[in-house]
Every structure is written in structure tokens, then in C-alpha cells.
């Protein structure tokens, strides 16, 4: 990527990653990499041409700008804002769509598709295929680089991408693999060795398989009640052994609840605060202070585990960053994560322990197993890595099948659900990449699907999808002129990055709002900002729902009525009732109830209720509530774009005016303050109450003046020792200085805008 953007000042590169956490991590890392690189010696393009282009010279033209696009970031980014974009799959797809439609795509020179095996993911994988296929259709000199550690049929991908391939089995740190069964540890250096071990262990008495391999060693049973189950005892014993040897350990559990319970159990066994090195213990107390100062406060379970050097990873973004840094610095020695996070974290450990290798009730797949085992071995810190798969008797045969399966053959997910092909075709038609049957056929021939599926079945799916898009009035087909084009609604759905079916639902919701919109409250706007993806999967606590509905004012009740929702139905569900989903209309009604339930949470967040309080009120995990807030920001931008594309200017203006509330998480009077670095809703409110009501007032303040205000803004008031309080005051003073600097930049920008408005030079 650096090579491409260094060759040409106008060049752009995109790195695509599957998870928000990975995007955030890579943004920080790559910014540190490019920090000392200058393009000062590059040839300058013609200045007159640049003045007419979106890539006109900038004050920072010699620097390489790295920008992340994920979650709540802008749905339609300005390409002038970055040189290298690091994106989630969804954001990358939207970014490329916008660039093709706006004719900026010629500036894109490199696209890196990391974790390319995700193309086989049943939920999101097809979007990777759509993205890459569009790039292949362009005929532009775009270099595509695909990478993965868990690919099997690499030749298929090589053919599809018209690529060269490079394969290596080199690992900078060797990994020793083990199976733990019934308290016995067996060597399993390779997959074949592990399979042989499992097969012999599973042999019936008297079979010809022989006595089986001898264990390397035996984990002694525990007398403690909590450790009677051999698998749990093995997990705790192996983790305890690793920490006492001075190394880090990563434990994978099958569920969020199991994750937290394992962490609590480990904290009871590992060396306590009295045994820890005083310097390490001091840093753990600092970590607790940092977590306590977050808007969410300190999670009670983390308050118990961190003093013993243990944490779990199912957290909010801010908590996760603090935990990851503390683990990487050796302040924390053990971290417990869910299996599903194996590919979304970068916390290498000397030893990785797998607790049953399950994700919920299902055994993990071979690729996920490799992802978890791949966390073992810390380059530069450990000479070897170790993995221990702790298996119960009831799982023995399943583990044999799992290990025997090897890595699955990748295949296209584009045809597994007809709605995916509909989205693929709608996108290329809306951005004018395809305008007739011939160009659609050209696009389809460039897909991964075309490399592995019989053309006749593909043709049937394409024809059925075109017919369905016509029925939904998303495209128009003129057979006489051999022309296909997207309708206004079709363009709006693509511009807002929605699935066609979700777009139809949103269109109906917004049309209803255009006829009657409640503006004497905020619930109707917030409802329109609440994402619609996977609404039927939302776990509703109907008692919490009923409690909030009973507190609604007249404005909120009118919103419910206009949406066709009834408090009586919520009451019935709280008493154990059910809602029918037999018809399409009934399913839409269920979606509206679920969406309103999330909108109530969004209302509380926008009215400065802390994330942990919202989580408690609605019986949700705090990480889920935070993800709702982040997702809503991006979705809100999509709704504004949807209305603009549909020509609903008034609705777009209303939604756009309110969208800043989402980002600030605060009432309207605090929006200006919330633009300042480090100022979230709670801090903004306390600053306001203490007389700092404008950006200018912060810009002109002495950091020492802000210190008592920031002390007051700490969410949990705990009695600190003199040394700890001084450490906290020092950290807050540094934060105050950053806030003053940020406010100064904002204030200067406002003054410049005012001067331009007045026509001053």
C-alpha cells in the first residue's frame, strides 16, 4: 500500500478487515508506521489541474493520511480525506460504490483483503465477493492482495482473482499442540498426530488400536467443588501454571457467561494482590482507576479479577483498549475471551487454553480452531507457543470429526440466498457498472461463483433476481432498448448501504413518517435512526419494555400509535404472550416492536444516561448497548442519504439536524462542547454546570481551572489514597491540557469561518 501511494500523490489504497476491533488496531499501528514518511520528493502534478480536482494540494500534502471507516463513521466518505483507508467489509463496499459512481475509482491503486477466508462466511462473506468482483470488472490497474492463514483451495481464489499465489508454513515462533482429556495431557504436534491421539483414546476396549499413547503428564484432580469437572480443572490448572511461570495465558470459552465465570474462577486461584510484585500491583490499581474513570464506570466483575491479573474481553471499546494494553505490557497475565472473538483480537500468549472448543452449543469449525490456536506464541517475547485443547468425554467423537475434517473448501455464498444476488445486481445497476444484460453477464462471469458453479443454475438465479427487483420496483428493464436502470428507490437503497429487503421496509417506514411526523418529542426521529438489520434476532426483555412504555409521555405514545404499536401488546408479551410471524405483515409488525425497543435505549443514551445504566435497565450487555450507539451513527448517515436520494429534502434536513445528538450522546445544549477531544456527554454536562458553556470558554481556560471539574466528572466516587489521588490528578491535568488545545483549534476554525462569511481576508 505504501509503495502505491508513494508512487503518485493522488493514489489511494484500501485495507479491508472483518472486525471493528481489528480496524481500530490497524489504524493506530499504521499511523505509527507512516509517521516518519514524507512524500516531499515526489514529482508535483500540474497545479491548475489540482485546483479542479478533489485531491487539490493540502497543507499536509507530504504526509500519508490513514483513516479508519467502521461502525459509526460516515457512510459515504470523501476520498480527499485519506491516502490509505482501513475499513470493515461493509464500509469498503460502500466506499468503492461511491467512488465508481462519482468517477473517482481511477485513483484507487491497491486493495488488501485480509482474512480472505471470510468470503466463506454465511453472513457477510458475499460482500467481500461483491467488492472484489466490482474491482475485477473495472479494467483499472488496481492491485488486489488477498491474505489468510486458513485457506485450503487457494488455486480457486488464484484463478478467480487472476492472481499469483504465495504460500508459506513458516511461523516465527513454533507452536507445540496438546490434547487434554480426562486430566491427561497428550502431545499432538501436528493435526495428524492429534487425530491419531483422539482415535486411539476413543477406541473401544479390546479393539486393535492398542493401549493408546502415553500421556506426557497428568493434571491432578482438585478437591474444590468448583473444579470437580475435569475440563474446568484442566483449564484452571494450565492457566495457573503459566502465570506462576511468569508468562501470559489466553483462555477461550464458549459463551459470554462462561467467559466471565472462567475469569472469576481464575482470579481465585492465581496469585493474589499480596503475592504480586508491588510495581505490577500499582499498575493494576492504575488500570482500575482508568476503568473507573470511563463513562461506563468499573464493571464489578473486572473489579474482582484485575487485582489478580485476570480480565475478560467481552467489553466496551474503551475497556477493551485498556485491557489489551495492560495485557500486552504484562500488567495482566490472563485474559479470557469467547471463541467468536478469536479472529477479532490480537492478544498473543505463551499458552492458549481452549475450554471445550465450543461456541455456544456448537463445536467450532476447523478454521476457527486454527484461529484460536494461532494466538499462541509472542514474537519477541517467547521462544515457543503452546496450545491445549481441553476435551470432555461427551465431545470426544465430535473433536475427532473436527480434527479429521481439516480446513473446509471455500466456496461462494452468493447463490446460497437469492437476496444476495439481488443486492449484487442492484448495486452494479445503481452505480452504472452494468446497464444491460450483456454487462450483467460480464459481471457475473467475474464472480467467484462463476468459477465453481454450473452456468445454467447461475443464469436461473440471475433471471429470478432481476424479476424480483422489478417486482420490488427497484429497477426498470427496457427489453426493446436493451437497457436496465435503477429506480430512485433502488438508488436510495444502494446509497444508504441497505439490503434490498431492508430498504423496502425502511421506505415504508419513512413514507409513513412523511405523512405524519411527531416533532414535539424525540422518539420519532430516534426510531428512524435505529438500525433495521437483524431486528428479529433482538432479545427483548418485555418487562423492561413495558416499564419504559408506561413512562412514555403523550408524544411518545403518539409515535407508537402512528407506527401501529400498542401498549396492550407489550403488556401481553410481558405476561408471557407470543406474537405470530406467519405472514409478511406480521413479521414487519414484530420488526417494528423490536426496533422501538432499541429506539428507547437510543433515547436514553442521547439523554446522557451512561451506557452501563442503559444496559442494566434493558437487561442488555454494556458492549451491545455501545455497539447500538456506534451502529446508529452510521445508520443515521445512511437514512439522511436515503432521504436525499429520494428527494425528501425536508425529512433529510430534520434527520441531519438531529444526527449530531447521536455522536455526542448528549442533549442539544451540549453539542458544541462535545466536539472537544475527551469531552463526552457526562463531562460536557458537568462543564456546562460549572460555567464552561462554550468552546471559547474552554479555549481560554487554564488547565488547572478544569482540573476540579474533571475530578467531579469521575463516575464513581471512591476514596483514594494520597498517592493514587495524585496520580489521578496528574492524568486529568494532562487530559485538561489536551482539551484546551482541542478547544483552541475549534475556536480558531470558528473565527476563520466567521471572517470568511463577512468577506474578510
Whole-model pTM: value is 0.79
What average pLDDT does the segment 665-693 reach?
69
Answer whether residue 307 shows pLDDT above 90.
Answer: yes
* Residue found by looking up cell 504480586 in the block: 276
CA pair distance 289, 735, nearest whole angstrom = 15
Count of positions (residues) in the chain: 761
Contact 609, 596 (CB under 8 A): no
pLDDT exceeding 70 applies to what percent of the chain?
86
Write out pLDDT tens, residues 254-276: 888 888 889 999 999 888 887 87
Position 160 scores a pLDDT of 94
CA pair distance 606, 685, nearest whole angstrom = 12
Position 313 scores a pLDDT of 77
* Nearest by Cα to 340 from 293, 372, 366: 372
CA pair distance 197, 199, nearest whole angstrom = 6
Residue 84 phi/psi, 5-degree rounding, is -125, 125
Write out pLDDT tens, residues 636-677: 888 999 999 999 999 998 888 777 666 555 455 556 777 777
Contact 615, 625 (CB under 8 A): yes
CA pair distance 628, 621, nearest whole angstrom = 11
* Nearest by Cα to 526 from 447, 430, 596: 596
Contact 65, 42 (CB under 8 A): no
What average pLDDT does the segment 450-470 reach?
92
CA distances, 505 to each of 345, 414, 489, 500, 646 (Å):
35, 22, 12, 9, 15
Q: Which is more confident, 747 or 681?
A: 747
Contact 97, 494 (CB under 8 A): yes
Answer whether residue 22 shows pLDDT above 90.
Answer: no
Write out pLDDT tens, residues 125-145: 899 999 999 999 998 889 999
CA pair distance 66, 93, nearest whole angstrom = 18
3-state secondary structure of 492: helix
CA pair distance 296, 294, nearest whole angstrom = 5
Position 757 scores a pLDDT of 57
Q: Is 32 exposed, middle or buried (0-12, 13-18, 19+ CB in 10 A)?
A: exposed
**Cα dihedral 725, 334, 71, 35 sign:** positive
Q: Which residues contact 566 (CB under 8 A, 6 or more apart)?
A: 560
CA distances, 348 to each of 170, 180, 256, 329, 415 (Å):
17, 21, 20, 12, 37
Q: Report H helices in 275-349.
A: 278-292, 300-305, 317-328
* Residue found by looking up cell 494520597 in the block: 722
Give the CA dihedral 12, 13, 16, 21, nearest 10 degrees.
-80
Roughly what angle, to the nearest 10 degrees, separates helices 649-664 and 500-515?
A: 110
Q: Hey, which of 327-336, 393-402, 692-701 has the most confident mean pLDDT?
A: 327-336
CA pair distance 641, 651, nearest whole angstrom = 11
Q: Which is more confident, 260 or 342?
A: 260
CA pair distance 672, 694, nearest whole angstrom = 7
Write out pLDDT tens, residues 411-439: 888 887 888 999 999 999 999 999 999 99
Write out pLDDT tens, residues 189-241: 544 555 555 566 555 444 444 555 677 889 988 888 888 888 899 999 999 99
pLDDT exceeding 90 applies to what percent of the chain?
36
Q: How many helices (H) and strands (E) does the chain have?
A: 32, 17
Position 450 scores a pLDDT of 93
The mean pLDDT value of the chain amounts to 83
Q: Which is more confident, 376 or 26?
A: 26
Determine how β-strand 184-187 pairs with β-strand 217-218: antiparallel
pLDDT band at 12 (very low <50, low <70, confident <90, very high): very high
3-state secondary structure of 376: strand
Q: What is the b/e burial string over 309-343, where b = at least 16 CB atoms within 10 angstroms of the residue's CB?
A: bbbbbbbbebbbbbbbebbeeebbbbbbbbbbbbb
* Residue found by looking up cell 471493528 in the block: 20
* Nearest by Cα to 246 from 315, 349, 167: 349
Q: What is the DSSP string of 220-236?
A: PP--SGGG-SHHHHHHH
Amino acid at each position: 500500500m505504501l509503495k502505491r501511494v508513494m508512487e503518485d500523490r493522488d493514489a489511494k489504497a484500501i485495507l479491508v478487515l472483518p472486525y471493528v476491533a481489528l480496524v481500530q488496531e490497524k489504524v493506530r499501528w499504521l499511523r505509527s508506521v507512516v509517521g516518519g514518511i514524507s512524500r516531499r520528493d515526489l514529482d508535483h502534478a500540474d497545479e491548475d489541474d489540482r485546483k479542479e480536482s478533489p485531491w487539490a494540494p493540502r497543507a499536509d500534502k507530504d504526509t500519508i493520511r490513514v483513516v479508519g471507516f467502521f461502525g459509526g463513521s460516515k457512510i459515504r466518505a470523501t476520498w480527499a480525506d485519506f491516502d490509505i483507508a482501513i475499513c470493515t467489509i461493509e464500509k469498503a463496499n460502500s466506499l468503492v460504490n461511491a467512488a465508481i459512481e462519482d468517477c473517482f475509482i481511477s485513483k484507487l491503486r491497491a486493495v488488501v483483503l485480509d482474512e480472505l477466508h471470510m468470503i466463506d462466511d454465511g453472513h457477510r462473506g458475499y460482500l467481500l465477493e461483491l467488492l472484489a468482483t466490482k474491482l475485477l470488472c473495472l479494467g483499472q490497474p488496481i492491485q488486489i492482495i488477498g491474505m489468510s492463514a486458513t485457506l485450503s483451495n487457494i488455486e480457486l481464489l488464484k484463478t478467480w482473482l487472476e492472481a499469483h499465489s504465495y504460500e508459506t508454513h513458516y511461523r516465527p515462533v513454533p507452536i507445540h499442540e496438546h490434547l487434554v482429556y480426562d486430566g491427561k495431557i497428550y502431545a499432538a504436534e501436528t493435526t495428524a498426530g492429534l487425530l491419531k491421539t483422539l482415535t486411539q483414546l476413543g477406541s473401544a476396549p479390546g479393539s486393535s488400536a492398542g493401549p493408546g499413547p502415553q500421556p506426557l503428564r497428568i493434571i491432578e484432580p482438585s478437591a474444590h467443588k468448583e473444579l470437580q469437572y475435569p475440563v474446568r480443572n484442566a483449564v484452571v490448572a494450565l492457566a495457573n501454571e503459566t502465570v506462576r511461570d511468569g508468562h501470559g495465558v489466553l483462555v477461550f470459552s464458549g459463551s459470554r457467561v462462561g467467559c466471565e465465570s472462567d475469569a472469576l474462577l481464575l482470579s481465585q486461584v492465581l496469585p493474589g494482590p499480596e503475592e504480586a510484585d508491588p510495581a505490577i500491583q500499582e499498575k493494576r490499581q492504575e488500570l482500575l482507576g482508568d476503568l473507573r474513570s470511563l463513562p461506563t464506570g468499573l464493571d464489578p466483575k473486572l473489579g474482582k479479577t484485575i487485582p489478580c491479573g485476570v480480565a475478560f474481553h467481552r467489553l466496551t471499546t474503551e475497556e477493551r483498549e485498556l485491557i489489551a494494553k495492560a495485557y500486552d505490557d504484562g500488567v495482566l497475565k490472563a485474559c479470557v475471551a469467547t471463541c467468536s472473538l478469536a479472529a477479532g483480537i490480537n492478544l498473543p500468549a505463551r499458552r492458549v487454553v481452549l475450554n471445550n472448543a465450543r461456541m455456544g452449543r456448537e463445536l467450532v469449525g476447523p478454521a476457527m480452531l486454527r484461529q484460536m490456536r494461532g494466538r499462541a506464541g509472542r514474537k519477541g517475547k517467547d521462544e515457543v507457543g503452546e496450545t491445549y485443547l481441553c476435551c470432555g468425554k461427551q465431545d470426544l467423537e465430535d473433536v475427532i470429526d473436527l480434527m479429521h475434517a481439516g480446513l473446509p473448501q471455500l466456496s461462494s455464498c452468493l447463490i446460497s440466498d437469492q437476496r444476495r444476488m439481488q443486492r449484487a445486481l442492484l448495486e452494479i445497476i445503481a452505480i452504472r457498472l452494468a446497464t444491460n444484460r450483456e454487462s450483467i453477464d460480464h459481471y457475473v462471469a467475474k464472480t467467484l461463483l462463476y468459477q465453481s458453479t454450473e452456468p445454467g443454475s447461475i443464469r436461473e438465479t440471475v433471471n429470478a433476481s432481476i424479476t424480483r427487483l422489478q417486482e420490488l420496483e427497484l429497477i426498470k428493464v427496457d427489453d426493446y432498448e436493451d437497457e436496465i436502470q435503477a429506480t430512485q428507490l433502488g438508488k436510495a437503497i444502494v446509497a444508504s448501504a441497505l439490503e434490498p429487503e431492508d430498504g423496502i421496509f425502511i421506505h415504508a417506514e419513512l413514507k409513513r413518517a412523511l405523512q405524519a411526523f411527531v416533532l414535539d418529542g424525540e422518539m420519532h426521529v430516534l426510531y428512524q435512526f435505529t438500525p433495521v438489520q437483524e431486528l428479529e434476532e433482538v432479545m427483548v426483555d418485555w418487562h423492561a419494555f413495558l416499564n419504559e412504555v408506561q413512562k412514555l409521555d403523550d408524544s411518545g405514545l403518539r409515535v407508537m400509535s402512528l407506527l401501529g404499536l400498542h401498549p396492550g401488546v407489550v403488556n401481553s408479551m410481558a405476561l408471557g404472550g407470543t406474537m405470530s410471524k406467519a405472514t409478511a405483515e406480521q413479521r414487519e409488525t414484530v420488526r417494528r416492536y423490536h426496533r422501538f425497543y432499541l429506539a428507547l435505549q437510543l433515547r436514553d443514551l442521547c439523554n446522557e444516561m451512561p451506557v452501563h445504566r442503559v444496559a442494566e435497565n434493558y437487561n442488555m450487555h454494556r458492549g451491545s448497548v455501545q455497539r447500538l450507539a456506534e451502529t446508529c451513527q452510521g445508520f443515521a448517515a445512511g437514512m439522511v442519504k436515503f432521504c436525499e436520494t429520494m428527494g425528501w429534502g425536508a425529512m433529510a434536513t430534520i434527520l441531519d439536524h438531529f444526527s449530531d445528538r447521536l455522536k455526542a450522546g448528549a442533549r442539544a445544549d451540549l453539542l458544541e462542547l462535545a466536539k472537544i477531544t475527551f469531552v463526552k456527554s457526562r463531562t460536557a454536562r458537568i462543564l456546562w454546570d460549572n460555567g464552561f458553556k462554550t468552546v471559547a470558554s474552554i479555549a481560554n481556560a487554564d488547565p488547572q481551572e478544569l482540573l476540579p471539574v474533571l475530578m467531579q466528572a469521575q463516575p464513581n466516587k471512591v476514596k483514594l489514597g494520597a498517592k493514587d489521588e495524585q496520580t489521578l490528578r496528574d492524568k486529568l491535568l494532562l487530559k485538561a491540557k489536551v482539551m484546551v488545545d482541542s478547544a483552541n483549534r475549534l475556536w480558531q476554525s470558528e473565527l476563520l469561518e466567521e471572517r470568511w462569511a463577512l468577506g474578510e481576508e
